[in-house]
């Protein structure tokens, strides 16, 4: 039997994409220092995270804020991972202590299962613990305009005109309400589209073009920077649920 405290050698499990979320369950391997434009939930025995300053944190559960550089030094043989878009209805429950730079351990009972319904219910609990903040109607409209424009080029000025705001006002709304500037938000939407295409069995090149990346190499660089691993890691050994 695999010792869950030992670092997992790779990524082998299931994954699923739902509106605003990416879920994964199974063996979680190491990942280089990276930062993604989404909050991340990690659950599993034996995790060791490293922050941007090099400090290591042993955790069994952690919420990592969006845009926070971190690395997975040791993974786990049986864990759960969720990435939650900033546009989701409610913010993640605030921890009473200050965040460490790599994410703060949270007091969380180990889920009874390691399946998609369990993880989905857990994320619903965490995101629903605080009532959603009011969202500016123009910001909601802007996210819809962006979705309609992809995979073509998306310009702030074009979206601002569509929602009848100035460029600066719309930029402020993205940063203030989503905690994510306009350009990183668009990039995250492209990445999510590419991962969705990969989950459907397309090639890396096809997924890159479907999401508006220049080519497969461009998509690979973005995935490495934002997820700490190559796109092949997300296809080889990972069973995508539909």
pLDDT of residue 101 exceeding 60: no
Q: Cα dihedral angle (221, 226, 230, 236), rounded to 10 degrees?
A: -140
pLDDT of residue 144 exceeding 50: yes
Note the pLDDT of residue 95. 45
Those residues with Cβ within 8 angstroms of residue 19's Cβ, 6 or more apart along the chain or in another chain: none
Note the pLDDT of residue 11. 82
Least confident of 58-72, 106-120, 126-140: 126-140
Please say whether the beta carbons of 71 and 134 come within 8 A.
no
| Positions of E strands within 39-177 | 39-51, 56-64, 70-74, 76-84, 104-105
Residue 31 has phi, psi (to 5 degrees) of: -145, 135
Tell me which of 139 and 235 has the higher pLDDT: 139
| Residue 217: band (very low, low, confident or very high) from pLDDT cuts 50, 70, 90 | very high
Rounded to an integer, what distance in angstroms lies between the CA atom of residue 96 and that of residue 98?
7
Note the pLDDT of residue 137. 92
**Contacts of 166-169 spanning 24+ positions with Cβ under 8 A:** none
Mean of pLDDT over the chain: 82
Note the pLDDT of residue 100. 52
Q: What is the pLDDT of residues 150-189, one digit of tens each?
A: 999 999 999 999 999 999 999 999 888 877 789 988 988 8
Tell me which of 2 and 168 has the higher pLDDT: 168
Note the pLDDT of residue 148. 96
pLDDT of residue 111 exceeding 90: no
Please say whether the beta carbons of 59 and 102 come within 8 A.
no
* Domains with residue ranges and CATH for the chain: 12-128 (2.60.120.10), 137-240 (1.10.10.60)
Q: What percent of the chain is predicted at pLDDT more than 90?
A: 34
Q: What percent of the chain is predicted at pLDDT more than 70?
A: 82
Q: What is the pLDDT of residues 45-95, one digit of tens each?
A: 889 999 888 989 888 888 888 888 899 999 999 999 998 887 664 445 444
Note the pLDDT of residue 96. 37
Using alpha carbons, list the distances in angstroms from residue 94 to 82, 98, 212.
17, 9, 35
Least confident of 6-10, 106-110, 131-135, 188-192: 6-10
Query: Which range has highest mean pLDDT (7-11, 107-111, 137-141, 189-193)?
Result: 137-141
């Amino acid at each position: 039997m695999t010792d869950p405290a030992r670092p997992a050698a790779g990524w082998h499990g299931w994954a699923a994409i739902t509106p605003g979320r990416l879920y994964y369950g199974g063996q979680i391997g190491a990942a280089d220092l990276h930062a993604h434009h989404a909050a991340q939930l990690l659950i599993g025995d034996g995790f060791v995270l490293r922050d941007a300053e090099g400090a290591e944190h042993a955790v069994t559960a952690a919420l990592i804020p969006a845009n926070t550089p971190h690395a997975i030094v040791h993974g786990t043989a049986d864990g759960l991972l969720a990435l939650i878009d900033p546009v989701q209805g409610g913010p993640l429950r605030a921890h009473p202590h200050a965040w460490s730079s790599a994410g703060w351990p949270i007091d969380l009972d180990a889920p009874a299962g390691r399946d998609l319904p369990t993880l989905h219910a857990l994320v619903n609990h965490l995101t629903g613990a605080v009532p959603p903040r009011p969202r500016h109607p123009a910001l909601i409209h802007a996210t819809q305009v962006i979705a309609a424009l992809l995979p073509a080029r998306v310009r702030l000025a074009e979206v601002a005109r569509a929602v009848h705001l100035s460029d600066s006002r719309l930029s402020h709304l993205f940063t203030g309400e989503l905690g994510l500037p306009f350009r990183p938000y668009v990039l995250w939407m492209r990445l999510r589209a590419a991962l969705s295409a990969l989950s459907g069995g397309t090639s890396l090149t096809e997924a890159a073009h479907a999401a508006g990346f220049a080519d497969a190499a461009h998509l690979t660089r973005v995935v490495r920077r934002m997820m700490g691993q190559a796109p092949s890691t997300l296809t080889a050994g990972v069973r995508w649920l539909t």
